[in-house]
Structure 1
Amino acid sequence: MAIDLDKVLDKAWADKPLAEVLAAPVAALKGVTDKDGELLQEAFGVKTVADFGQLKYARWAQALVALNQTTK
């Protein structure tokens, strides 16, 4: 799967190695603010992009969306 990093990461992170991006705070994602990151950490213990990607609630929601796509 190809991802245009310029579309999903803040400019400061778009040219960083993937390992560095995964260890970055979630605010490295385009559209996620530092305050959003604080709230994610408070609510779910999410500190990094990797934590966010592995968040079981987000994965459950993605599975439900995918299931819905197969029923259309």
Structure 2
Amino acid sequence: MAEIDLSKVLDKAWADKSLPEILAAPVSALKGVSDRQGELLEEAFRVKTVADLADLKFARWAQALAALDAAK
């Protein structure tokens, strides 16, 4: 089972929310992502929510490439 310290990855306002609420939250709920950056992600990739970002194929491809590199 995967675990994560939500206070390290979420803006304070979101740290006590449920997982479904977090996944439906705007990407600006992630620590370090501004409202403007969220707007740019939406314009460029149609990413509106944390779930959308997690499902972004380009992010998954990059993660897969990084995992391949780490495995060598």
DSSP-derived class of the 1:47 partner: coil
Provide runs of 4+ in structure 1 moved above 4 Å: none
CA distance in 2, matches of 1:32, 1:59: 19
AA of the residue aligned to 1:57 = F
Residue equivalent to 1:60: 61
Equivalent pairs: percent with the same residue?
70
How high is the TM-score relative to the length of structure 1?
0.97
CA distance in 2, matches of 1:22, 1:70: 29
| 1:12 to partner: Cα distance | 0.2
How high is the TM-score relative to the length of structure 2?
0.97
| 1:49 to partner: Cα distance | 0.3
Gaps of 5+ in 1: none
AA of the residue aligned to 1:6 = S
CA distance in 2, matches of 1:69, 1:49: 25
C-alpha RMSD of the superposition: 0.4
How do 1:1-72 and structure 2 match up within 5 A? 1-71=2-72
| 1:27 to partner: Cα distance | 0.1
DSSP-derived class of the 2:14 partner: coil
